[in-house]
Amino acid sequence: MNKKLFSFELLHKQESARAGVFTTPHGDILTPVFAPVGTQATVKAVTPEQLQQTGASLVLANTYHLYLRPGADLIAEHGGLHNFMQWSGPMLTDSGGFQVFSLSAIRKVDDEGVTFKSHIDGSMHRLTPELSVAVQEKLGADIIMAFDECAVPDDLEYNRRSMARTHAWLERCVTARTRADQALFGIVQGGIFPELRRESAQFVSSLDLPGVAIGGLSVGETKEQMHDILEVVDPLLPQDKPRYLMGVGSPEDLINGVMRGVDIFDCVLPTRLARHQAAFTQTGRVNLMNSINTRSFAPIDEGCQCYTCRNFTRAYLRHLIIAKEMLASTLISIHNIQFLITLMGDARQSILDGTFDTFAAAFLERYQPNHKKEHV
Amino acid sequence: MNKKLFSFELLHKQESARAGVFTTPHGDILTPVFAPVGTQATVKAVTPEQLQQTGASLVLANTYHLYLRPGADLIAEHGGLHNFMQWSGPMLTDSGGFQVFSLSAIRKVDDEGVTFKSHIDGSMHRLTPELSVAVQEKLGADIIMAFDECAVPDDLEYNRRSMARTHAWLERCVTARTRADQALFGIVQGGIFPELRRESAQFVSSLDLPGVAIGGLSVGETKEQMHDILEVVDPLLPQDKPRYLMGVGSPEDLINGVMRGVDIFDCVLPTRLARHQAAFTQTGRVNLMNSINTRSFAPIDEGCQCYTCRNFTRAYLRHLIIAKEMLASTLISIHNIQFLITLMGDARQSILDGTFDTFAAAFLERYQPNHKKEHV
């Protein structure tokens, strides 16, 4: 890694919560940060211009999807993902590992790699650590991820073997990479087992990579188990490297993650919820289709400065939903993304101010995460 | 009509082609102009901010749809359509007449009005000239349209009776209206029959309304018939009022309309085509799904300055289409709208320059309107 291209500066800590700056070739990422996901080289329903207006800095794309369609070569011919999808800020690609295990009906893992069936057309493919790195080098994101196995979290023996394989694959990824302008992050695995997580955190940290990810969480374990694992790995990870909690998540998960030393989060949740008419507010999620919004002149969230809240009433958004207008997904996506980005920006400021504990407690107190009790 | 709120200035004529300015309470409309259609209080798949970036000035909305859903009262409570959908420029609502005849399976027309069944939920409704005006006053667009009957174009006797009814309804609309900040346009009907069109043009012109529309075209007649009718009414319509050709249309129809004295056009075509992956270019329509675009690094249309063409390749757009990403509809809609708006802006400049004949001939020469021979 070229130290001039990537660097992490830890500006302030409050207990485990951290405020920092991760410098990449496409700009600085102020942490903690929430990264929206552009699975197929687009954050669903929003343009890059709209995405930029939400305050987004880091944007994800999925190697598995792009490898299958449209293929990494086409994107490389465009000069990489930044140019293909016209995102000029920092980008991150995952390794494809998670999707191979979650999306593909048929897959066979061995120590060399994974053979799997495309969820799109049923064609057979094989991903290895070397191929994942090669594909990610073609995609050209600033941050690339090691190819790992994301095991079911609660099988101790399987997680032990799987973790060893993930570690071996990480070393192969380190060897395989050729580009100096991409930062390879290793991934801590080990399911819900503290002793495995400790071993994995120590191994991944020992490689002195520019960043460390925590994988295999938010995949079915309880919130308490997730928090416990974060608390186990936090003291073992290097202080001078960014920590990325993969696939998380909800507003309360983000705050709980920051509290436990996480710097970077990503999730499809804000855009997926938007397509189901659900929006974040300071007091919990609301479903805008709810008839109580029929004549509501309020914005989704009072005080929110997003394009949607500055311009449109809940009544208008509900009308768009009922009338099946695409604009509903766009406007709610813009709000939900900006909500999480602003939440992380506010958390960062409170860490710098030394008031994160109060900030986090107040948020967790007022935000009702119970999805069954949708607020309106 | 308040002369201070509405005025039309004819700046230059070249044969029948006209360049002018229509002043409204929400801004000036430079004519000739293409107006995108926001049927349900949204131009499909684009935000008002994106719409403004296309150069749009006048935007339409459909009274029939908004009357049924969400209802005119809700929009009135928002202070009208401008505030409801956040379009700050000039707006126009149609009368609901056309949709009653085109969308409703069951309808019964009498001299008082039309009874029809909602295409949404089958409920029965009745629209009259008075109710149409009342609804449009609640919606609050700058330009409102007289309630008319849009008859099948080739039945002489029916068109004669229908035209008489439309004229009687126009007089009732004039009587019914109460707002000084809205310009009521009358509508010339008469099918494909020159003698009826002449009579209708003379009658509507005699009322000295702030603008005149030509209805009942682009509803199944041939292009030649449409052109003939435009040529029949052109010399009979007042020179000092804007002329609006309703529901038209395609690039070639716009140029042919300008050539025959039309100032204002509207159509769902650019956004509807976009949702079917078709885009305008200077040489004709292309379908971006066509495999020839798979590795095309060109924009949709060389020389186009829209957001889509400035940023994205055909290969990227095709990828979005194949991947069923909503962003495809948004980006192609932006292009198609800007294409028609720019076409009218260029036509206007050529009229001011006295070169419209050359401009129109060159466009009609290079633009292949045959939809069956999609260019790629």
pLDDT digits (tens, 9 = 90+) for A149-173: 988 889 999 999 999 999 999 999 9
Q: How far is CA B324 from CA B275, B277, B321, in A?
A: 11, 11, 5
Give which of B316, B318, B320, B321 to mutate to test A binding, by max A Cβ within 10 Å.
B316
Query: How far is A197 from A202, CA to CA, in rounded Å?
Result: 8
Mean pLDDT of chain A: 95
Per-residue confidence in pLDDT tens, chain B, 376 aa: 445 799 999 999 999 999 999 999 999 999 999 999 999 999 999 999 999 999 999 999 999 999 999 999 999 999 999 999 999 999 999 999 899 888 877 889 999 999 999 999 999 999 999 999 999 999 999 999 999 998 888 999 999 999 999 999 999 999 999 999 999 999 999 999 999 999 999 999 999 999 999 999 999 899 999 999 999 999 999 999 999 999 999 999 999 999 999 999 999 999 999 999 999 999 999 999 999 999 999 999 999 999 999 999 999 999 999 999 999 999 999 999 999 999 999 999 999 999 999 999 999 999 998 654 444 3
CB-CB: which of B65, B316, B322 is closest to A69? B322
CA A352 to chain centre: 23
Q: What is the pLDDT of residue A375?
A: 41
Q: How far A124 CA sits from the closest chain B CA (Å)?
A: 19
Q: State the Rg of chain B over Cα.
A: 20
With CB atoms and an 8 Å threshold, state whether B311 touches A40: no
Q: What is the pLDDT of residue A370?
A: 63
Q: What is the pLDDT of residue B106?
A: 81
- Please answer whether residues B141 and B134 qualify as being in contact, where contact means their C-beta atoms are separated by less than 8 angstroms: no
With CB atoms and an 8 Å threshold, state whether A326 touches B44: yes
Q: How far B362 CA sits from the closest chain A CA (Å)?
A: 34
Q: What is the pLDDT of residue B328?
A: 98
Q: pLDDT digit string (tens) for B317-343? A: 999 999 999 999 999 999 999 999 999
With CB atoms and an 8 Å threshold, state whether A330 touches B45: yes
CB-CB: which of A313, A323, A327 is closest to B45? A327
- Please answer whether residues A275 and A287 qualify as being in contact, where contact means their C-beta atoms are separated by less than 8 angstroms: no
Nearest to B229 by CA among B171, B164, B159: B159
Residue B100 tokens read as 């009653």
| DSSP H helical ranges for chain A | 48-53, 63-68, 72-77, 81-85, 97-103, 129-139, 156-176, 194-206, 223-233, 251-259, 269-275, 307-311, 314-322, 327-353, 356-366
- Chain A residues within 8 Å of chain B (Cβ atoms): 40-42, 44-50, 65, 69-70, 74, 77-78, 84-86, 294-295, 297, 307, 311-313, 315-316, 319-320, 322-323, 325-327, 329-331
Q: State the Rg of chain A over Cα.
A: 20
Q: What is the pLDDT of residue B1?
A: 46
Read off the pLDDT of each residue in A363-375 and give the average, rounded to a whole number.
73
Which helix (H) or strand (E) segment holds residue B59: the answer is: strand B59-61
**A3: three-class secondary structure by DSSP:** coil
List the catalytic residues of A: 94, 266
CB-CB: which of B48, B295, B330 is closest to A47? B330
Q: How far A164 CA sits from the closest chain B CA (Å)?
A: 36
Chains A and B form CB pairs within 8 A to the count of 101
Give which of A327, A330, A332, A335 to mutate to test B binding, by max B Cβ within 10 Å.
A327
Q: What is the pLDDT of residue B370?
A: 63
Q: pLDDT digit string (tens) for A216-268? A: 999 989 999 999 999 999 999 999 999 999 999 999 999 999 999 999 999 99
Q: What is the pLDDT of residue B277?
A: 98
CB-CB: which of A45, A307, A316 is closest to B84? A316
Q: What is the pLDDT of residue B373?
A: 44
* Residues of chain A contacting B297 with CB distance shorter than 8 Å: 77-78
**A280: three-class secondary structure by DSSP:** strand
Residue of A nearest to B308 (CA): A47
Q: pLDDT digit string (tens) for A179-189? A: 999 999 999 99
With CB atoms and an 8 Å threshold, state whether A50 touches B47: yes
Q: What is the pLDDT of residue A12?
A: 98
ipTM of this complex: 0.96
Give which of B37, B40, B47 to mutate to test A binding, by max A Cβ within 10 Å.
B47
Which helix (H) or strand (E) segment holds residue B135: the answer is: helix B129-139
DSSP string for A160-189 = HHHHHHHHHHHHHHHHH---TTSEEEEEE-
Q: pLDDT digit string (tens) for A92-141? A: 999 998 998 888 778 899 999 999 999 999 999 999 999 999 999 999 99
Q: What is the pLDDT of residue A3?
A: 52
Helices A356-366 and A251-259 meet at what angle, rounded to 10? 150
